[in-house]
Amino acid sequence: MGRSIFSLTGKVAIVTGASRGLGQAIAVALAEAGADLFITARSEASLVETRTKIVDRGRKCHVGAQDVRDLTSIATTVARCREVFGRIDILVNNAGFENVSPSVDVDETLWDAIVDTNLKGAFFWSQAVARALSEQGEGGSIVNLCSLTSYVGIPTAVPYTSSKSGLLGMTRALASEWATAGIRVNAIAPGYFRTAMTDDFYQDANWQDRMISKIPQRRFGKDDDIGGAVVFLCSEASAYVTGHCIPVDGGFLASI
């Protein structure tokens, strides 16, 4: 039998914000599909667990401390990945930041911290990787982590909603611009997953009941639910798919 169109064997993927939660689950799923990984987070120490999971699956993994708001360090990390692996094929812009606050209380510091992480950082990471992919001349895949807030408004989350709505628009625009270079740009929009960033919400049993009632599958997402969509968008199985966002939300957006 031939190689699966979902296989990522021989591919090199960068995943930002890979130390925990969805970023870790995505990195592990890519490794299980055959990719070697360069993973980043703000500290190398936080990446030990993810790296171990990847290596345990027989894949190579290098780590790097990197703040997605630091444009100089983005260029340095891309160069380091190419030095280590000789190429880049995949970028997953997963690093994100959220802080809920009444809109009248949002100051410039909070706005910049959220928007610079979720939108500005994703753009300049995409730009740096697109330059590398263009030099390689073989195309590649970029996957952005959007959100349900890319589609619907959430009270007290205006900076986050703005950043994720912008990320969806950016996904479509870059896909249109870079398609002739063989670079596909897509996104996924995770629904309600319990992660370190969102755990405060899940401490409220009443909130959980309200949210579950809005999800047709009547459950929250699990880490294992996220990897399949990302592997699909990074593999030959989605060779004719670009500029789209796949909600991974148990049917939430389909039913509101």
Q: Is 39 in a helix, a strand, or coil?
A: strand
- pLDDT exceeds cutoff 50 at 91: yes
Q: Which pTM does this prediction carry?
A: 0.95
Q: How many domains does the chain have?
A: 1
CA–CA distance, 153 with 134 (Å, rounded to integer): 36
* pLDDT one-digit tens code per residue, 104-120: 999 999 999 999 999 99
Please list the residues that pair with 37 across neighbouring strands: 13, 61
The encoded tokens of residue 87 equal: 């190429």
Query: How is residue 95 written in tokens?
Result: 């690093």
pLDDT at residue number 2: 54
pLDDT digits (tens, 9 = 90+) for 3-61: 799 999 999 999 999 999 999 999 999 999 999 999 999 999 999 999 999 999 999 99
Range of the domain at 96: 12-255
Phi, psi of 115 (to 5 degrees): -70, -40
Burial of 60 (0-12, 13-18, 19+ CB in 10 A): middle
Domain membership of residue 188 (yes or no) is yes
pLDDT tier for residue 200 given thresholds of 50, 70 and 90? confident
Is the per-residue pLDDT at 239 higher than 80? Answer: yes
Task: Give pLDDT, residue 61.
Answer: 98
Q: What amino acid positions are annotated as catalytic residues?
A: 160
**Is the predicted pLDDT of residue 1 greater than 80, yes or no?**
no
Is residue 1 situated within a structural domain?
Answer: no
**Considering the domain boundaries, does residue 2 fall inside one?**
no
Amino acid (1-letter code) at residue 137:
G
Q: Is residue 5 part of a domain?
A: no
Task: Give the pLDDT mean for 229-245.
Answer: 98
Element (H, E) at 115: helix 108-115
**CATH number of the domain within which 89 lies:** 3.40.50.720
Has residue 4 been placed in a domain? no
Q: Which residue has the higher pLDDT, 198 or 208?
A: 208
Contact 49, 24 (CB under 8 A): yes
> Does residue 227 surpass a pLDDT of 90?
yes
Q: How confident is the model at residue 102 (pLDDT cuts 50, 70, 90)?
A: very high
Please say whether the beta carbons of 185 and 196 come within 8 A. Answer: no
| pLDDT at position 175 over 60 | yes
Residue 22 falls inside a structural domain:
yes
Handedness of CA 14, 77, 134, 114 (dihedral sign): positive
